Amino acid sequence: MPSERITISEVGARDGIQTEAAFIPTERKIELIDALTATGLKRVEAASFVHPKVVPQMSDAAEVMRGIQRRPGTRIGAFVPNSKGAEAALAAEVDDLKVGSAASEAFNELNVRMPLEKNLAVLRDIASLAKGSASRLVGVVGTAFGCPYSGPVDVERVARIVEAYSELGIELTYLADTTGMASPREIRAALEMLRPRFPAMTFGLHLHNTRGLGIANALAGLDLGVRDFESSIGGLGGCPFAPRAVGNISTEDFAHMAVQMGYSVDADIDALIACAKLAEEIVGHSISGMVMKAGKSTDLHAVPRENAAAPR
């Protein structure tokens, strides 16, 4: 049985909440983030420093960062699309500046309003701003396995972005199945091509469950040695630029599977389940996590009296 530790980057408070139609009050975002960091998670995304007209749900990013508890050993991340966002994130003392480019040109135009090469130039500016600070850049390659507008993505385009990230000094890159188009076959093909070409890069996976394959894709990554995963509490989320997209793989579902398989995770499963229930209460509607509903597979139940054998 494996004994390696898996590192989970929890993205529910950013990637999960950003698509909610009703604005989530700042104090409730802070409440959720503090509950998540209390579980033992070592990486938690708290916000996105984007223009409020683009993602209104993240308009209180600075206030959220000021209000959360900063726990020793837990890195707080935020998405930054440009230099202005990076400056705000650095002022807020964000530990991980999450930067991204989409492998699909069509999706890149929608997501960051610019073509890939211009986007990479912007990332170079962000890297210059962060140089010498306590913050590090973490890369995300969006639509790494397919685009809902232009179809399959050539893995060479993914490699072009990873190469640019390497030149910026990025050491951790998440390959994102942004709209849930991948199967385990695509996960394997991309990793088997990329890892030998970029041996100094740590590759993680950011998986969405749009077509029910999120956990299967995570398992494919585990079998290939991936130990860094992004997930969202309760399966919250979606993508504002993708038709019919649903949330990330559920953090507590993935962590439960990993522990059942003999891996170790940073967070306590019961605490994650409590966070999923809190997230559902905060957003005010049912969310897709399964373990939060069914409980852990190790939870036992009393036999109902009406089903018990009659006494002799």
Can you list the residues of the chain whose pLDDT is less than 70? 1-3, 238-245, 307-312
pLDDT of residue 109: 77
Supply the pTM of this predicted model: 0.93
- Secondary structure element (H or E) that encloses residue 36, with its range: helix 26-38
147 is catalytic: no
Is there a contact between 78 and 94 (Cβ–Cβ < 8 Å)?
Answer: yes
pLDDT at 25: 98
What is the CATH topology of the domain spanning 5-307? TIM Barrel (3.20.20)
Q: What is the pLDDT at residue 108?
A: 80
Q: How far apart are CA 274 and CA 262, in angstroms?
A: 22
| Own/partner long-range contacts of 209-214 (Cβ < 8 Å, ≥24 apart) | 209/180, 209/235, 209/246, 209/247, 209/248, 209/249, 209/250, 209/288, 210/179, 210/180, 210/181, 210/244, 210/245, 210/246, 211/180, 211/181, 213/180, 213/182, 213/183, 213/184, 214/177, 214/180, 214/248, 214/249
Distance CA 73, CA 76 (A): 10
Q: What is the pLDDT of residue 237?
A: 82
pLDDT single digits (tens) 144-153: 999 888 899 9
pLDDT of residue 310: 59
pLDDT at 106: 83
Confidence (pLDDT) at 3:
59
157 CB-side CA count, 13 A: 20
Indicate which residue of 239, 242, 267, 279 is catalytic.
Answer: 239
